Amino acid sequence: MRRPLVFLFGLVAASTMLVVSVTYALEADYLLAAYVLVFSLGAFMVLFNRFVKEKTPRYPLAFPGERDVYFPRTDIPRPIHDDVRNYPEYFKRVEEKKPEES
């Protein structure tokens, strides 16, 4: 599917949730209407950033030495701590400044 088509499909789904939110609000279930409204606006923002602005998601943080769910199947770059651990000669250690005693 092309990007604009996927965005429009998601927009229809999110706007359907907006209609459901208004329906719940008319039935005086305001808390549920607020939940549905927040969910649909969040879905719209994710779709807009992903497909219109073409922003790629950032690397999901994982603990050093552990693999995450995306590991071998994507082209997400390695986290920097793996590079520092495996290739220390390329990175300079910055010495911490000790506070001066007065």
**24 vs 26: CA distance, rounded Å:** 5
Please state, in angstroms and rounded to a whole number, the distance separating the CA atoms of residues 36 and 23. Answer: 11
CB 61 within 8 A of CB 78: no
Burial (CB < 10 A; 0-12, 13-18, 19+), residue 36, is: buried
> Residue 18 has which token pair?
């907006």
If the chain, 102 residues long, is cut into consecutive pieces of 10 residues, what is the mean pLDDT of each piece? 72 76 76 78 80 70 59 61 75 78 68
pLDDT at 52: 77
Give the residue among 17, 77, 81, 71 at the shortest CA–CA distance from 45: 17
Q: What's the pTM?
A: 0.42
